Structure 1
């Protein structure tokens, strides 16, 4: 699920607002499942990452304090990890709220203390030693002594609490409580893939206002965010993020916030039909055309007037024509398109997005690395210089911040290393032959050089052959497969064995490799509502990664990617019981098999094409299935 899903109350006075407190690297999956269950009752649920920048709040801790002070209830999910401490002296104004014996607290612990101080309805759930954390080890600063002090305080004061050992048990325990049931209210469908960046989203305020001005109050308008004509390349300037931030900024103006991608005509129509899951329509229906028609009918009904639909990554003329054709008749909402296509019908308003202005780019670097970088007096000037070096590209700035935070280095050190790396990149980057700018290539090189293990580098090579769609966790861990389908995995150790064979390192671990890629901002977060994902690789970074491999390494890593996907392509694609797995895997099958077919790799390419064709046939997508069957033969 996305980090915050709000349901529209009848009025602010009758909201039942719940704050859900948990350390993400320990409880992310459990917390998201619990939040989904509470939202289904029509309740407003927020977590720490939910907060946008507020003009009258200077710090994250202040925003947490203000929300918990005014909310209806707090649910604390407590384990062995503490999370990080607030930055600087931001906790000083609240020190008097700590109970005797406490001198400091982490963010998550402050959430507990705020709830106790304001005598909020407080539910405490503690994980047993059998609980399997979301990440095997903390991914950031952690203070075990502080956490044990908090648990001892709960026990010593006899506070009501329950214990759980699985996410399912946690959800069952919490739902046994007497919560208000507002599920009869009008729900606001929302499948945005990311929460708001809050204060880290900078320099686009006027652009967001222009989107709103162009779309206006009347429904039936379409706008397309595309790169400024002076900006060349595949992406990286922040089109997708800008569209998502527009949606969050105007959340209360829309009856639904919807997101699909359209890298191809097939992808667009598949995801458009997939909105039936968001709308809770056509459940049990297998025919693709019926589901597609049901989704379009929902969008065209007057009672659903006022939705926003983001159509992301429309980068080909073919996909653009499909989007225009399917959505032309819709008049009850706004459509916001992102992509590199420059030619649209007159009815589509083109909004050209450029790189960030220098002040905003530098401010992002300073805020995104606050508390992690080694501070120096010249940081402001260095941030401006680095932002200039990075071409003020949003993706490159994000990667730079990830590098500084992961290595806990200074901006001065980053700048020195950047200059060295850029000289190396000049030797292989060809502005005429590549469709991405050199600063992005150098940011990629910096992040690659910072990866601590060969396993992480090999994992990036493998992922570069897959789809830019979110990567399901079961692709790397069979225990995360959809309910009831885990026994279908005949070779659950495949991901580990494939990575170990590729690296020659018996200690190579897929989960650790993925964590390292996330920490270095090479793998982006992908918090999807319908499944557990490990992240997604930006198409530009995938392109650079493939391009930097020699022909021999391309063949070896592509083969590894094929076998990884093949090991997860289990069950029978025409069996509706297995579709929860196949629907998530299909974009990656199509992408990796297409790469393999172009390089004349016969197996398991033929088997994957054939299985995907069976899935398409079973869902009445015969036009897509036939060419895949021919390729399989």
Structure 2
């Protein structure tokens, strides 16, 4: 399953084996057919033995064969191309195709197009095997022309052109309008008018099978289930770590087979010595291709020689999440990068030129519709490990600054942007920890990402980021700094969203103290802290402590922002909730309606914050037995949350829970049971079995079932 660069010790040519050693360039050492005026009936020039470990790729082999048979007009004039990253198994696929279909052709011809010299040498070799009269010509161009003419005027042949990475060199030499089949392998993703087949890493199941076969632990006569369970588990873990990349799996299997170290030991070694093992090949001469690192270093060197700034792009991508790197992040982060790379990222034409080069070696894949890039995780590993620790730190810091510069505010209208950024930000958190990069940009990036995750109810992912942001801010700015107050505020908000009031309260208190001291009692940020600390007191039933804080926050916001501002609406809702809890329904209703009107006007009727106002006003009506009004508002809020937040968001579950209670109050038990069952499932999945919200809903659900006599 790998791109082999060396032929086997024994070559089968014209139906006979050549025992001559053929290490090195297979073109130079082909067995020369005897001089004869009679053309041969059959020629077989495949320089590799059939791979006994070949696994999977059936769909590619079937597509190749089907295309040669059914799309005859296209393949006769253009041929077919197998494209992919070096080491992904392109050569092995075409070799396997040749062996599977050798009876379909009288002439199976091979050209190694790795360089002009190998290309020319193999044309000469073909001329000798076909016994062409021009084979004795001194002018190579005449021999090449003779081979092309023969291909154009004969049928029953398959021409495999391997390693055709320099397509402009190869195109003029391929036959046109012929009646045979051309099959080409290249690292270049763009193959012109040829029919292209992109080859990616193996599917997980095929990767596991291939590794076990290569390691000698699974024969073709065995079922996978016959391999010990522990070996299958370790194989799967190793395949996942290697991104199911064929050449890496081949190296691992060869090492395990030769050393008899076993999968468990190799896995332990790989987890600590990954780069070293990726450099190793098997010890049996001629049986194994170059290592992963050697294969890719050759591409890196060619890129560096052709366009040095392209190598910089590779380094940048090596420190980002591999599967979907948004081009928008790169463009927005360009300003904080060093000048050479900033020039590439800020100029679309230069960026496109660099992408053409990187795609020519399949080191980066570009999705033009989604505007994202992709790089295999092993390519990233090799690139990173080829740097010394100081340079790794430099690039990690650059990536953190670039991603931070691309982050928008954590607002609902930017959620689609955050969905693209969040995986990159999570990778940056890894570099913050690995290289102890306590930077202002790192603190801000972790804080914003953590809050976005909290808003999407991904609480377990959010907490370590918000905690790290607070720690970094305290270290680089001090415990009394305003940025530290912001970090305290967001971490407290995470705890409040989960009902962890005791953990949230001291953080809110610290943030308020800092803001009052640094900004004064009338500042808007102070009002924010007053509002949120008041909410914590309110939610814990500490009404006498909560009311003056909320009244003060409302006064500041109305005075400085105006009565129609969204922040004013927030505090109106907070104070309304306090009055509702105290049974002061008229005061609560007036404030809830004011808050709802502001949000509908400023945000629109379908915004998640509008749903918050709808929800709380509905609950107030339920408290008063105004069921029809309550139901209408709750259903509106639920529809907004399902659409905007998703069917599995905890706030969606909250709407479901309170609708269930509304129906339960009216004796509509079947409707209540359906809504509460949905809510419980969401809470169990998103918050956990032991979360207070989950436990409360489960208790209420059991009471409902007892009422329905179903418990």
* Higher RCO structure, 1 or 2 (CA under 8 Å, sep 6+): 1
TM-score w.r.t. the length of structure 2 is: 0.34
Larger radius of gyration: 2
User: Which has a greater percent of helix?
Assistant: 2
